[in-house]
Structure 1
Amino acid sequence: MKDSLDLSAAQEALAAQPFSKLLGTRLVAFGKGEAVLELDIRDDLRQQNGFVHGGVLGYAADNALTFAAGSAAGAHVLTSGFTIDYLRPADGTLLRAHAHVVRAGRTRVVCRCDLSTLDAKGTQTLCAVAQGTIAVRAS
């Protein structure tokens, strides 16, 4: 993988993640300290009450946070930790995770992420927020 990333290289990195392929995740925006991931909400991603499973939201937040950091700090980044607050049950047809860099340092990058669902009419509903610290590895 290249040291610096553009949208195409970042999409290749996402495609190299077997779990992301399993979920059908798409990287639809990348660069200048931001990243947007999307995935279609399917029945097999729901929990027993019919809402999107919290683990799916956590996955989306984790990946979006790290891709946002990578757009600012390069390809050699790893999540060192994140927190997520679930605001309301996630339901709809599409899950969108939009992350941006809050502060990029030499060894770590702090990012925030909004997780929203879209329904069939295109109405967007904020369902969770996350904040993470991303470690910059020596290349």
Structure 2
Amino acid sequence: MSLTDDFKWVMNAPFLKLLGLEAVGVESGKVVSRLTVREDHHQQNGYVHAGVVGTMADHTAGAASATVMAEGFMPLTIEFKVNLLRPAVGRALVCEAKVLKAGKAVTVAESEVFAEDDNGEHKLVAKATVTLAVVPRR
């Protein structure tokens, strides 16, 4: 699957636009997203805020889930758990999400969020498990 008009709705949430999150890779059951880190993404100690990391993990998993859903349906998060493994520091965050189990009513996906440094090297900063309901698209 490519970033066609049929898929773009998944990444067009106003909150994602505010954060600057964008999909950079899409295939069936998998999505990679990227966020260029800005000052307003930081918390008080200069790390990327956990809310930004969690949002990225959640929405990218939802986008991956959307790639395997029947036409006319969309994912809606029921629950997600994020393990913050180390402080997120870098010029960008990259999230790789994949579907673990696609069901008719519930889908489970996982996300890994990496911090990218100035040399382009990635360090794993968070891992999430996301449970999503399969609901009619609005």
Is the shorter-chain TM-score for this pair beyond 0.5, marking a shared fold? yes
Q: Do the aligned partners of 2:10 and 2:66 also contact (CA within 8 Å) in 1?
A: no
Structure 2 unaligned blocks of 5 or more: none
CA distance in 1, matches of 2:104, 2:10: 22
**Between the two proteins, what is the percent identity of the paired residues?**
35
What pairs up with 1:102-121 in 2 under 5 angstroms?
A: 102-121=100-119
Aligned counterparts of 1:40 and 1:137: Cα–Cα separation in 2: 31
- Summarize deviations over 1:83-125 as a string: whole Å, max 9, x none: 0000000000011111001111111110010000101100100
Q: 1:13 aligns with which of 10, 15, 29?
A: 10
Shift of 1:138: 3.5
The residue number in structure 1 matching 2:82 is 84
TM-score (norm 2): 0.91
In the TM superposition, structure 1's runs of 4+ consecutive aligned residues that sit over 6 Å from their partners are: none
RMSD over aligned CA atoms reads: 1.4
Residue aligning to 1:24: 20
